[in-house]
Structure formats: C-alpha cells, structure tokens
A and B are shown apart, each in its own frame.
Chain A
Amino acid sequence: MFLKFAFRNLLRNKKRTFTSALSVFTAAMLVGVGYGWINGVMDLYSEGFIKYQTGNVRVVTEGYESREKFMPLDEVIVNADEIVSNIRKIEGVTSVEERVRFGILMGKDDNTVTAVGMGLDVKNNSFGFADKMIEGGIADHGIYLGVRLAESLRLKVGEEILIASKTSEGGLNGIKVKVAGIFKMKMAAFDKHYFFLNLADAKKLLKIHKGATEIYAFTGRAEDSAKLRDQIKPLAGEGLSVKTYSEQMGGLDELLKMMKSIFFFIEIAILALACFVIINTMVMAIFERMREIGTLKALGFTEADLFVIFTGEGAMIGILGGIPGALLGFLGIYMWSKTGINLEGMLKNVEMPIEYVIHPMLSLTDIFGVLAMATIVPIVSSMIPARYIRRYLPSDALRM
C-alpha cells in the first residue's frame, strides 16, 4: 500500500519527477557505458599481454631473465623439447610454443631500422599472423614482415634481404632470405618492428644447435596461470625461471588493477551526483507536503510508515531512471563490442601489445553490479531527506 502511495505521489508533479529520473537515467547510462569501456580496455590489456608478449606462463633461464632487454642468445634451454612435451600433457594446456627472439639492425638501401626477429612455428602460434597477412602466405622458408617494417625498408613479397645477427657462440652470422609474407596485426609494436621466421631457420642463423631461449604455455584463461605455473615448475628444474603473465608484467599489472578500482569509485561518484537531484526533489516534496504529512500522522501513520513512503518515492524515481539508463548503456556496449572501436589514430605510436580495435565488454557480474548500484544508490539517497519527517509533530505539520 505504501509503495502505491509513493507511486501516485510521483505522478502529482510529472515534470519534476521526469527531470529527476532523467538525470539518474543519464548517469546510469554513463556508468553502464563507462564500466563496459573500462573493463573492455583493461581486460584487453591483460589478454593482449598474454597472447602477444608473456603467454599464460613463460619458461626461460634465470640468466635470460636478468639480461632480458638484450634478448641474449647464449641463455638457451637445452632440453626445451622435453619440457615442451611434458607441459603438453598437463590438463588445461591449449598450446605450448618454443621461441627464439633476437634484436638486429636491419638495413636496405638508404634506410636502417631496429627490428626484432622471432623464430617460432609459423603455422601454429598465438600471434596468428598467418591469418593477418595482407600479402604473400606461409612458405617453407622465408621471413614475414610487419607492414610498417616492410614499408620502412621498401620491401615487397619475393624480394630478398640479408639478415645478420650475433649468434649464441658470440660471433656473427648472416643469411639471405626471401620475404614470404607481410602481415598487419594492428599493433604498433609488431607492425613496426617485428619479423617472424620459422624456428629451424632462426636456430640456423643464430647457431642454436639444440633447445630454445623461451617456452610459452597457454591455457585460454588468465585465472589458470598461477596453477599452471605451479605445475610447470617441477618439470622445468633448476636454473629455470617459470613465471605467470602477471609476474612478468610486474608493476604494470598492479597499475591496471588500481586503475580499475579508481574507475569503479568514479562511477559511484557519478551516480551519487545524480542522486543529489533526487535529494533535492525529495526535500522540496517533503516541505511542500508538510500538511499532508501532518494529516497522515494524525490519522495514525507512524514515522516509519512515512519514512517508507517518501523513501519509496525517491527510490522509484531513481530506479525508474537508473535501470533503463543502465540497460541502454549495456545495449550500447553490446553493439560496440560487435563492431569494435578503432583507436588506430591514438595507438599507432604506442608500442604495447594492444590491438588498435577495442571491443568493450561487460560480464554478467559487471551487469549485475551496475544494476545493483543503480538500485541501491537512489534508495540510500532518498533516505537522507526522508529523515526530516521525524522532526514535526502532527499539529505543527498541519499548521504549515
């Protein structure tokens, strides 16, 4: 009955009710969109790192880890084959890759650039560059260049280039290779600086006779990384470092988590701001209807009853505005998640493993979280002005 009263009271001043609900609607929509956007971007960072840089778990020698910025070639995991085959037997592992990375100066004609070469299984790898080729295709031998690297060196498919590098033995070696393909991964770091070649050719160039410098294990779920690390450690043995993606990212992972928390509080603040409008509306409503409050009290309504009526009124304004606003925000996120948002202009010079096209997303937990916020915050806000009812005796209220 009280909620019926509250609902009828809403309709007595439609303009004020509509304006208040609209502000909550806008805020809830912003929160819905903002949440989806932030979650999409943050999760993309983590996924991007796992897929393109760290794997769920990576195995390297301890010496490699300490000199990682040089991509040392003398820190080889000699029994890599054995470790890889043992990791493949672990339940939940979707793929395991052996890789060799090396940094060189690449020069052709007038131009010289820095480049990172990666030897790996060109057909089956987490980069999936075979599906992202814009020219050429997978061949038995040859190199695959990032599109901007190819442009910089003015190289086309079929042309040859000399690749010279330090080897694992400390000397220099060079091979002449044909450009078999040019890929566009829509990530500045890879398109501008990376080239791939098959593992056997890379090991021949770098004179790595047995093993590899890095082993990457993937599970498909970031949450399983710690468990996988613990399973791999005994298989890896002494002298090898086994780390999850989060441990490899170090401070960056902590920073991303902190940013997610900060955005959560910003979103609550936005909703709270909209609820100030509800407080305003309810304060005015209470003072304007003081005589009615006196009448109801005189008729026997308790303070608690009146508290429920007025809280209900304010809460309804908030919920009637907030839930549709949040739902519209979710719809926007859903549509964007299908088309993606192209941030190439902004990201093309940011050399992190993040794709240009971002797909915002919301999990079921996030959706319920936003709906809960859109419900609870208006209810709590309405309680603040509803407290004023307690101050007045029925006789005083009737005299107003």
Chain B
Amino acid sequence: MKYILQLALKNILRSKRRTVLTFMMLTFGVTVYMIMSSLYAGLDEVSFDNLVQFETGHVKMRHVNFDEDRPFSTDNLMTQKREIYEKIKAHPFVRGVTGRINLLAEMDNGIDSMPVVIVGYNRQTDKEVFELAKFISKGQMEKDGAVIGVDLAKDMGLEIGDVANLTFRDINGMYTALDIPITGLLYSGDPMANKMKVFMDIDIIQKSMDTGAISEIAVKTDNMYKANKYAEILQKEIPDAEVNSWKTLSYEFANVVSTKKKAGNFILLVILIIAMVGIVNTILISIYEKRREIGTLKAMGMLDKEVRNLFIAEGFIIGFTGSLFGLLFGTIANLYFIYHGLDFTAMMDQMGNMGASMVGVMKSVWVIKDYFVVTFLATAASIFASYYPAKKVMDMQPVDCLRTVQ
C-alpha cells in the first residue's frame, strides 16, 4: 500500500500544472464552504442566545389562548397567582422564575415620536432568568427609571438623565401617559431590543395600566437543551396556561436556520460534484497518457487491481491534499471573520428584519465538526470519482498498451 501511494505521488508530481488545477477546484470549494459554514454557525449561535436572553427564557408560560397575531391584546394578560409560581419552583430543574408584562407604547421626545415595546420586569426575580444587567452599556437599572436600547436612544436623541414621555392604553382601553427618566442604555445582540425596547419596573407599569396582570412567566432551567421535556412536564401540571420551550417559540427562526443549513449542504454537494468531475477528467487523461507504463507494469507482474489502485491513489491524494489546503485557507479566512466579523450595519438599517436576530457586525464561530466532515467527504468523493476511470485500466492488455507510442 505504501509503495502504491509513493508511486501515485510521484506520478502526480510529473504533471504539476494539471494536478494543481484539479486540486485547486477542490481547495476553492472547501474554502468557500468553511467560510460560509462558520458564518452561519456564528449567526445561529448569536441569534438563539439572543432569543433566550431577551425573548423567551428556557421555558415560557402564556395565556392559554395567547393570540400570536395580536400579541399586545390585553386578552393575552394572565392574573398572577402565587400557587403557579410555587408549582413551577417545586421542580428540581428550575433555576429561576419571573413574570413580565409587555405592551405597545409611543415614545415622544417632545418633537418626534415612535412606537416602542415596554417590558415591565420584576427587579428581584428577573435576574434569576434573564441577564439584562450584562447588556447595560451605560448607566444602570433603577426602580423609577427606564433602560432603553442604544439605537432607540440615538434615534430619539435621548441621553441618560433625559425624560421620555410614554403613551399607551391601559386595561380599560383609555390612553394614559407617563414621564420617565432614562437611567440606562442597553446594547445587546438583539436588534429588536436595541431599536424598540424600554425596560421598566413592573410595578410602575401595572399601576399605570390599572392591573396586576402579566403577559408571561419565564423560567430558567438547568439545561436549555432539555427545555422541550421540561415544558411538557410543566404543561401537564398547569393545563390552563400555554407552556412552550424556546425551541417551539422560535420555530419561525428555526425554519430560517434549517433553510440556511440546507442551502449550505447544497453548496457543499455542488462543490463536491464539480471537484469529482475534475478528478475524473484528470485521472482519465493520466491513464491515456501513461498507457505504455501501465503495459510495462502489468508485463512485470503487477496485478490489474494493483494498477487500478495506483490511479485510485492518485485521485485520493489530489482530493485529500485539495481538501487540506481548503481547510487551511478556510481557517485563515475564518480567523478574520471570527475576530473581526462582517459589518452589515448599513444593510440592516435598510433591510430590517431578515429572519435572524443579530446586530450589525456578524462574527463567525469555529465549527470543529466541519474539519472532519469535509475532509472525509472530499476524500471519499475523490476516491469514488477516480474509481470509474481507474477501472478502465483493468481491461487493458499489456501487449496493446506497449504498442502505444508516446
């Protein structure tokens, strides 16, 4: 085997130009795939993290008839009941429970106004479930103040210490207004939070809305990847609420992720097909050019299958080397994308929500699995591609081959 590989390597180096052209196709394809795969993985990681941090927690409980098409309807509000909190906390997998209220409001700076979403949170229990404090870039959360997204503050020309006016409808449908000082700015990976959200103490909101109700109860568990199972357990205990895990709640986003994964896999398939066709060509030409050598080797006693294996080994070496170089260039490119990222800020401003929860700078992450999968697939494809032309060698008669003049 070692002898065959050595011979194959020497053969490949005899026609360097053709060999390099062939494996460059694979190198290019693998490099592009590595970059795209890491970018998508970075996007997914940030997006799911964002969803869990700001929107869903691990498990979320809402009104049993929660209407997705009318998310700010007061019919979606639930009465807070102590026994529900106690039922949830009784489970050993629960790490934190908190209630929040969400409502649509208009923020006015005296000149302009824009729609915002007010999130009323419980200052004691919210930090057991969400990590809001981690994302406060300036100022702090205070009982009688509001923390607003940095982009919202920028758009409205508001700084810490300024007072914003908020107008919204209370539980009875009457419009009510509230003046609140800005005490903190939020910068998170969630563009929605940065552009639209206003976080305030739930007591202030409930008092203004003339209600003690909440929109949701969020739960943090010991393992977010078991959230589906935990949600089922909690649902059985609390049948008159709707209990979902973050996975179920993010199904629309998950569809986008799976579409992107399918697109990525399709691209890898196209790359492999292109590389395979190139390898078939190269091996075919190599066989026809070396007919006399094949005849010589067979005449000297080399078995048909050994000669065949020689050409398969050529294909293997081209494929393996091509994918290795692709992994190397992909790694170098990914170093840039992982530590520096791609700035999509200008595009995001124009295009808005594109099916992923991310801020302007998109950073890749390492996908270790790709190194193994791509190497294996590229090498396997190369061996498969070289098999068909190499098989032709088995039918060649030494005497016919030796009659060839080169």
Contact B350 A252 (CB under 8 A): yes
Q: Closest Cβ of chain B: how far from A383's Cβ, in Å?
A: 15
What is the chain B residue whose CB lies nearest that of A108? B173
A366 within 8 A of B: no
Complex-state Cα separation, A104 to B115, whole angstroms: 8
Contact present for B72 and A113 (CB under 8 Å): yes
Nearest-neighbour CB distance to chain B for A45, whole angstroms, equals 11
A277–B268 alpha-carbon span in the complex (Å): 20
| Cβ-defined partner of B405 (8 Å) among A164, A279, A400 | A400
Which residues of the other chain, B, contact A396 by a CB distance below 8 angstroms? 405-406
Give the complex CA separation of A114 and B346 in angstroms.
Answer: 25
State how many angstroms separate the Cβ of B240 from the closest Cβ of chain A.
19
Which B99-127 residues have C-beta < 8 A from chain A? 103-106, 108, 111-115
Give the shortest distance, in Å, between B257 (CB) and chain A (any CB): 15
Q: What sequence of 0s and 1s flags, for each residue 98-109 of chain A, a beta carbon within 8 Å of any chain B beta carbon? A: 000001110101
Query: In the docked arrangement, what's the CA distance between A345 and B236, Å?
Result: 32
Tell yes or no: B75 within 8 A of A by CB.
yes
A103 and B106 alpha carbons, distance in the complex (Å): 10
User: B residues 222-281 with Cβ under 8 Å of A?
Assistant: 252, 273-274, 277-278, 280-281
A158 to chain B, nearest CB (A): 21
Is A62 on the interface with B (CB-CB < 8 A)?
no
State whether the Cβ of B285 lies closer than 8 Å to any Cβ in chain A: yes
Q: Do A105 and B350 form a contact, CB below 8 Å, given A70-B113, A152-B69, A280-B281? A: no
Are A273 and B350 CB-contacts (below 8 A) given A111-B70, A283-B281, A283-B288?
A: no
Minimum CB–CB distance from A119 to chain B (whole Å) comes to 18
Complex: chain B residue closest to A153, CB-CB: B70
Q: How far is A236 from B108 in the complex, measured between Cα atoms in Å?
A: 31
Q: Secondary structure of the B side of the interface?
A: mixed
B134 at the interface (CB under 8 A from A): no
Interface readout for B17-59 with A: 1 if CB under 8 Å, 0 if not? Answer: 0000000000000000000000000000000000000000000
CB distance from A399 to the nearest CB of B (A): 5
In the complex, what distance in Å separates the CA atom of A112 from the CA atom of B103? 9
Q: Are B278 and A276 in contact (CB under 8 A)?
A: yes
The docked-state distance in angstroms from the alpha carbon of A285 to that of B285 is 12
Q: Which residues in A have their C-beta under 8 angstroms from that of B82?
A: none
Q: Nearest Cβ in chain B — how far from A386, in angstroms?
A: 13
**A67→B280 CA distance, assembly (Å):** 61
A380 at the interface (CB under 8 A from B): no
Q: How far is the CA of A349 from the CA of B169 in the complex (A)?
A: 26
Which residues of A lie under 8 Å from residue B278 when comparing CB positions? Answer: 276
Chain A-chain B contacts (Cβ-Cβ < 8 Å), number: 96
Check B75 against A110 for contact (C-beta < 8 Å): yes
How many angstroms from the CA of A107 to the CA of B167 in the assembled complex?
Answer: 12
The residue of chain B having its C-beta at the shortest distance from the C-beta of A400 within the complex is B404
**A283 with B284, Cβ < 8 A, contacts A107-B169, A113-B104, A400-B404 known:** yes
B contact residues around A249 at 8 Å (CB): 350
Q: Are B73 and A273 in contact (CB under 8 A)?
A: no
Nearest-neighbor residue (CB-CB) of A74 within chain B: B111
* B105-A273 in contact (CB<8A): no
Contact of B173 among A107, A148, A350, A399 (CB under 8 A): A107
The CA-CA distance from A283 to B284 in the complex, in Å, is 8
The answer to whether A114 and B155 touch across the interface, beta carbons within 8 angstroms, is: no
Q: How many residues of B contact A (CB 8 A)?
A: 44
Q: Please, which residue of chain B has its CB at the minimum distance from the CB of A279?
A: B281
Q: Are A112 and B112 in contact (CB under 8 A)?
A: no
Residues of B within 8 A of A287 (CB): 288
A255 within 8 A of B: yes
Nearest-Cβ distance from residue A208 to partner chain B, whole angstroms: 16
Identify the closest chain B residue to A70 (Cβ). B112
Task: Determine which residue in A70, A111, A151, A396 has the highest number of CB atoms from chain B within 10 A of its CB, and name it.
Answer: A111
Residues of A within 8 A of B280 (CB): 280
Q: Mark A333-351, 1 if CB is under 8 A from B, else 0.
A: 0000000000000000111
A69 touches B114 (CB 8 A): yes
Indicate if the CB atoms of A399 and B350 lie closer than 8 Å. Answer: no
> Could you tell me the distance between the alpha carbons of A287 and B278 in the complex, rounded to whole angstroms?
18
Question: In the complex, what residues of A have CB within 8 A of residue B355's CB?
Answer: 350
Kindly list chain A residues whose C-beta atoms are within 8 Å of the C-beta of B274: 269, 273, 276
Q: 1/0 contact trace for B199-235 toward A, CB 8 Å?
A: 0000000000000000000000000000000000000
Name the interface residues of A89-145: CB closer than 8 Å to any CB of B: 103-105, 107, 109-114
**Interface flags, A59-97, vs B, CB<8A=1, else 0:** 000000001011010000000000000000000000000
**A residues within 8 A CB of B284?**
280, 283-284
- At the interface, yes or no: A250 with Cβ under 8 Å from chain B? yes
Q: What CA separation (Å) do A284 and B406 show in the bound complex?
A: 17
Which residue of B114, B155, B353, B404 is within 8 Å of A399 (Cβ)?
A: B404
- How far apart sit A287 and B168, CA to CA, in the bound complex (Å)? 82
Asked if B352 CB lies within 8 Å of chain A CBs, one says yes
A72 vs B284: C-alpha distance when bound (angstroms): 70
CB–CB A111/B350 < 8 A:
no
Instruction: Judge if A251 is at the interface, Cβ distance under 8 Å.
Output: yes
- Given the interface pairs A114-B115, A399-B405, the reply to whether A276 lies near B277 with Cβ below 8 Å is yes
Docked complex: A253-307 residues within 8 A CB-CB of B: 255, 269, 273, 276-277, 279-280, 283-284, 287
Residues in A whose Cβ lies below 8 Å from that of B349 = 251
B81 at the interface (CB under 8 A from A): no
A114 near B281 with CB under 8 A, answer: no
A156 close to chain B: CB less than 8 A:
no
A110 in contact with B173 (CB, 8 Å): yes
In the complex formed, the residue of A with least CB distance to B274 is A273
Query: Does B403 sit at the interface, judged by CB under 8 A?
Result: yes
Whether the pair A283, B73 counts as a contact (CB closer than 8 A) is: no
By beta carbon, the residue of chain A nearest B405 is A396
Given contacts A276-B277, A276-B278, contact A351 B403 (CB under 8 A): no
CA distance A166 to B175 in the complex (A): 14
Interface pair B350/A250, CB less than 8 Å apart: yes
Contact A273 B104 (CB under 8 A): no
**Minimum CB–CB distance for A343 against chain B, Å:** 13
Complex CA gap A113/B72 in Å reads: 7
B114/A103 in contact, CB under 8 A: yes
The list of the 7 closest CB pairs from A to B, nearest first, reads: A70-B112, A111-B73, A114-B115, A396-B405, A276-B277, A287-B288, A252-B350
Q: A105-B105, A251-B346, A351-B353 are in contact. List 14 more A-B contacts (CB 8 A).
A: A69-B114, A110-B74, A111-B70, A111-B72, A112-B168, A152-B69, A251-B347, A252-B347, A273-B277, A276-B278, A280-B281, A280-B284, A284-B284, A396-B405
- 11 example contacts (A-B, Cβ-Cβ < 8 A) are as follows A69-B114, A69-B155, A105-B167, A109-B173, A249-B350, A251-B349, A251-B350, A252-B351, A280-B284, A287-B288, A399-B403
Residues on A facing B (Cβ under 8 Å): 67, 69-70, 72, 103-105, 107, 109-114, 148, 151-152, 164, 166, 249-252, 255, 269, 273, 276-277, 279-280, 283-284, 287, 349-352, 396, 399-400
